[in-house]
Amino acid sequence: MVKIGLLGCGTIGSGVVELLAKEACHRNGLSIEKILVRNKDKHNNKPYGSKLTNRFEDILKSDIDIVVEVMGGIDPAYFYVKQSLLKGRHVVTANKDLIAKFGNELQKIARQNGVRLLFEASVGGGIPIIKPLSECLAVNSISEVKGIVNGTTNFILSRMANSGMTYEAALKEAQQCGYAEANPEADVMGFDAARKLAILSSIAYRSNVDYEDIYIEGINNISADDISIAKYLGCSIKLLALSRRTEKGIMARVAPVLLRNTNPLAGVADVYNAIIVKGDAVGDVLFFGQGAGKLPTASAVVGDIFDIVRHSLGNRCQVSSYEEEAPTAKVDMEGCSSDFFIRIKPRSRVEAMDKIAGLFERFEFVFPDRSKLQRPVDPDQIVFIAYDISEGDIDKRIKSLKATTSVDNVLSILRIEREDQ
């Protein structure tokens, strides 16, 4: 019998309990022995009530084989996972915050103690991506990872695009549907996606990518005008997590971008996630599915449990999804360029257009046919696309644009994902 200790029994934890109750799990000899919760009274009417404890010591002192952490956050999850590994317990976690910040350290502890730390559910919910990236595609030299990895922001942008909603209205609906937290900052500001990108990039490039080095923009400034004009241009706006191997290191960013509707990621709607990995042998590989939710995420957790049961228990191994003693990656935006979608509110339309022509060598003004727009937009604004501008140079040009007396405000600056990249 393989004995499991469960840390946390909220949405994901209860999903793990539900899936482990299935016949297939019994055939594999899996049994939950202890469940750590903060308040046992909230769970006493559940079938697993007799397994509850509010003492972590009860997990460590018992003969648990696998510790499953689904509490979320850093404190006390970091302490619990670290102590479990030091005591020679395999660990499965769905905690993206923990892995993004302490993954390299915890993997090292796991190796030193001959156990495994698996975290498939930390990125993409029920989408298999960690194991394919670290094992199935291991022979490839990965040059790029990009995708939609946050379901909350994708739902908000989808509702704005499909219904003409404002950002504020779409966010409120996401909260009412349970897709967004009361404080949605981690999602809408891009922090959640950056942590997931750090995990994927660390595996893909065999380097330790610190999520704090990733350039981040959120979707909180996306307006209905941006959505409407993007649709007119044949594009969708998505919060794109992107990392790319460059001559100078790794470029990594999370930001809203315009994707041509021919791009496979443009059609990913609502809370779904999709990730594209580019390898030198396989080319582009697309992973798609439900990026969050009780059972999809629990499915990934239980899949990791099965992996440990089949390949590790009884034959302690030292397999790691991170490279041993992997170097710290140099992560920045230096040397990268993009096309930019820019909207401004002018004081003097003619003078502002002249200023744009003097600042940008390659650009194109956009004059939308108002009859073909999803919703009316401010007719006095100026919209243009600037081509092939370096990341370091765009800030200087925008600063110069803001400084001119002919421009009242720069309303939007959004990257356009080029098909040749």
For the chain, which residues make up each domain, given as ranges? 2-128+294-311, 130-290, 337-416
Give residue-wise pLDDT tens across range 175-199.
Answer: 999 899 999 999 999 999 999 999 9
- Euclidean distance between CA atoms 231 and 382, whole angstroms: 17
CATH number of 130-290: 3.30.360.10
CA end-to-end span of the chain, whole Å? 51
Q: Are 12 and 301 in contact (CB under 8 A)?
A: yes
Q: Residue 329 — pLDDT band, cuts 50, 70, 90? A: confident
**Residue entry with tokens 């490839």:** 140
Q: Residue 52 is encoded by which pair of tokens? A: 């509850």
The string of pLDDT tens digits covering residues 337-395 is 899 999 999 999 999 999 999 999 999 999 988 888 877 888 889 999 999 998 889 99
Active-site entry in 34, 196, 278, 355: 196
Are 130-290 and 337-416 in the same CATH fold? no
pLDDT of residue 324: 54
Q: Which pLDDT value is given to residue 23? A: 64
**337-416 CATH pick, 3.40.50.2300, 1.10.287.110, 3.30.70.100, 3.40.50.970:** 3.30.70.100
The answer to whether the CB of 89 falls within 8 A of the CB of 112 is no
pLDDT value at residue 319? 42
Calculate the average pLDDT of the chain.
91
Q: How confident is residue 421, by pLDDT bands cut at 50, 70 and 90?
A: low
Q: Among residues 129, 157, 156, 158, which one has the least CA distance to residue 145?
A: 129
Q: Is 196 a catalytic residue?
A: yes
Tokens of 374: 């999803």
Does the pLDDT at position 316 exceed 50? Answer: no
Domain 2-128+294-311 sits in CATH at 3.40.50.720
Q: Which structure tokens are listed for 69?
A: 């952490």
| Mean predicted confidence (pLDDT) in 126-142 | 93
Report pTM: 0.92
User: pLDDT tens digit string along 60-97?
Assistant: 887 899 999 999 999 999 999 999 999 999 999 999 99
Q: What is the pLDDT of residue 41?
A: 80
